[in-house]
Amino acid sequence: MDLVRRKKAVNWCSQENDLVINLFIENYDSYYYKFSDGSKKGVKAVRDSLHEEWAQQLTQLGFAQRTAAQVAEKIKKSIINTRKYINNNGENPLSGRREELPRHLKPLEKKLREEYNKIQNDYGFDLTAVEGVVRLYDLLKDVKEESMSSFGGNAEGEEIECLEGDLEIEPGSNNSTEDSSRHGMSVASGTANIIEPPMIVPVLPFKNQIPTPNAMSRCKKRAGEEVRKSGEEESDDLNAKRHRLVNAELELVERKRYLTELKIKYWEEKMKKL
């Protein structure tokens, strides 16, 4: 549905929400399995016809004129929101607060849970037993982006102070010593007509180049925190990848089961004709 139609569309009222969800649940098998022959065109044709039929029923309510595209988008968003609610156990992943599912999506939640439990019972999957992290409803969790922070750095880009004292020359830096020497020579030559002091290369005491114990402890503490955060992010990424792998295996098993049922129905009908 294009952006112009989306802006002009009238907001859905409670009666429309209830009707479209009820129609989807009543025709759930038809929407996904019953009339499909395994081809994408067949599935699309069935769904398009259902969308057209439901759009007419919604328009007859008298609140707004609904199109098949609006119905398809409404169903898609309803399924996504309900699955996210199930995945997060009703909690907002950002705020951590408990959220309530809209009233018209309660029947859809019940239907999705029934379908997932049916798959689990039919094929003996016990996903909750895999290290206590893989959930049956974890279908839409995205893999977190890898952290770009490096060891010893800070996520906010703040610098870490490892040395105390007013050090003008970095420890073990020959280039810095040479630059300071050249700077001293230029200053001396510029004031030759006034005073010609002897050229002295600044050399810092060795003890000032050693970080203090407090500075070393702060560096170790911050580095330890960065290592811990990196380990937690890698663990989250690994769990998310496990979720995606299990979901892909479930989808493959479901497709195989559906194709097997189609073959059985085909041969049963063929045998009846004989």
111, 25 in Cβ contact below 8 A? yes
Query: Which residues are within 8 A (CB) of 81 and not within 5 positions of it... i.e. 6 or more apart?
Result: 101, 102, 105
**Which carries the bigger pLDDT value, residue 247 or residue 135?**
247
78, 105 in Cβ contact below 8 A? yes
11 φ, ψ (degrees, to nearest 5): -60, 145
**Which carries the bigger pLDDT value, residue 74 or residue 172?**
74
Q: How far is the C-alpha of 87 from the C-alpha of 160, rounded, in Å?
A: 39
Q: What is the pLDDT of residue 152?
A: 37
Adjacent-strand bridge partners of 273: none
Q: What is the pLDDT of residue 215?
A: 63
Q: What is the pLDDT of residue 146?
A: 32
Q: What is the pLDDT of residue 35?
A: 45
- How confident is the model over 156-174, as a mean pLDDT? 40
Residue boundaries of the structural domains of the chain? 3-141
Q: What is the pLDDT of residue 42?
A: 60
Residue indicated by tokens 């009233």? 103
Confidence class of residue 69 from pLDDT cuts 50, 70 and 90? very high
Q: How far is the C-alpha of 142 from the C-alpha of 244, rounded, in Å?
A: 9
Query: Which residues are within 8 A (CB) of 67 and not within 5 positions of it... i.e. 6 or more apart?
Result: 1, 5, 55
Adjacent-strand bridge partners of 91: 98
**Which carries the bigger pLDDT value, residue 228 or residue 21?**
21
Confidence class of residue 75 from pLDDT cuts 50, 70 and 90? very high
Confidence class of residue 222 from pLDDT cuts 50, 70 and 90? confident
